Amino acid sequence: MTLTGNKDLLLLFVTFAVAISLHTIMANSTDASTSPNYNVFAADLFTVVVDNSVDRNVVFSPASIQTCLIVAYLGAEGETAEEMRYALKLGEGDKNAVIKKYAEFVKSSFKSTNPQGGPLLKIANRVFANHNLKISGTFQKLAKEYFGTTAKLLNFANAAESVAAINGWVEEQTNKKIQNLLQEDAVNSDTSAILVNAIYFKAKWTRQFSESSTRKSTFYTLNKDQVHVDLMYQDDYFRYADLPEFDATALEMQYENSDLSMLIILPREVDGLQNLESKLSGFNISQIAQKMEGDPVDVFLPRFRIEFDIDLKEPLKKMGITSMFSSNANLAGLFVSSVPQKISEVKHKAFLDVNEAGSEAAAATYLKIVPMSLNLNQKVFRVDHPFFFEKRDKTSVYFSGHVVKP
């Protein structure tokens, strides 16, 4: 069918929830990377996200945002596709080939569950389209083949019913950690489609903290104010590194039955987070992980829970993705339609809970009795001021962020 008038094309990315909005537009009249380097996208994105979030707790999922944008990239052509390919670090080559390579990377990284009781890490995609539109058959075929994405038709004129359906899917995929992502006024009869991506992660530490060792303690904020937090403690062997070039130390905490871990980089100075993140900008953090060695460490880590949302339109523009927001956008591969589309809004929402048992897990209380340490090489990693973290494995960054006030 031929579309007329001004239609909204809303693409919603959820990481534990991300959202993208697109609007139709009236027709108007780089250099490329040579090989894929997906984690460079994560580093680039972190730099622009924290630029305006220095004094906020931050958590977001580069993997979710990147996957959502790549699903949208399936429908992009011309300059719009080229900008996205470059910023997303997909490498050179035929469009279908680079998407297929990324899809294989995602499939190898995400497993719904570990038969040995390891972390639950899953990713899901869905397209919600207005019932009076026809999605491109090629887009549907490739989205399903590469990312398992299926389409569901909704009557967006019935906003309450449509929003309930989308929010219900998001809640189901994120174990109800993200609720009411969309408000009722987010869609209307002019909305064309919503593309949703959800990532859910739940895991236990290999070495869990004992609740009986958690104590109230002082945490110093960036301006050196003091707040009281629940500070967890344990004494065990962990991968640790001294990082004099960053004026920081690093600790890696492994998740049970997997190669997934949480990497914490702690600046030496209470107010050193911004300087640390400036030095980390453009740096391959995998190199830090390679430096780490097993050491006996006294670990003091605050419990923390973060909810974070951000409009990603301006950060993505800073990364070079500009065409898809303009009247020059070319997303002709999305719909069987003569009316061009552009993306008008990109939003991301995420949630993270870290406690004695792990992340997104119910705490298991136990008492561990150990001899008092006499090891002169014992390290102390006391996280009592703002710090940077990543949840990652050897190839992927699933969540990045910083904590300024637990």
What is the enclosing helix (H) or strand (E) of 261? Answer: strand 261-267
Q: Where are the domains of the chain?
A: 8-203+307-352, 204-303+355-403
Name 338's Cβ contacts closer than 8 Å, sequence gap at least 6.
2, 3
Report d(CA 265, CA 257) in Å as an integer: 23
Residue 62 three-state SS: helix
- Residue 182's Cβ-count burial label (10 Å; 0-12, 13-18, 19+) is buried
| Cα–Cα dist 143/230, whole Å | 44
Query: Token pair for residue 389?
Result: 């973290």
Q: What are phi and psi of 158, to 5 degrees?
A: -95, 85
Containing 281, the helix (H) or strand (E) segment is none
- Tell me which residue of 202, 48, 195, 51 sits closest to 120, measured CA to CA: 202
8-203+307-352 has CATH 3.30.497.10 classification = yes
- CB-based contacts of 398, cutoff 8 Å, min separation 6: 61, 62, 63, 121, 199, 201, 260, 391, 392
The model carries a pTM of 0.83
- Residue 396: count other Cβ atoms within 10 Å of its Cβ: 21
Burial 120-151 (b: 16+ CB within 10 A, else e): bbbbbbbbbbbeebebbeebbebbeebbebee
For domain 204-303+355-403, give its CATH number from 2.40.50.100, 2.30.110.10, 2.30.39.10, 3.40.47.10.
2.30.39.10
Tens-binned pLDDT, residue by residue, of the chain (406 aa):
333 333 444 444 444 322 233 333 433 333 334 556 777 888 889 999 998 888 999 988 888 888 888 988 998 999 999 999 999 999 888 899 999 999 988 888 776 445 566 667 777 788 888 888 888 999 999 999 998 888 889 998 999 999 899 889 888 888 887 778 777 887 878 777 777 777 777 788 888 888 899 999 999 999 989 999 999 999 999 999 999 999 999 999 998 888 889 999 999 999 999 999 999 987 888 889 888 999 999 999 999 888 888 888 899 999 999 998 888 888 888 888 757 777 766 777 788 888 877 654 222 222 223 333 444 567 899 999 999 999 888 878 888 999 999 9
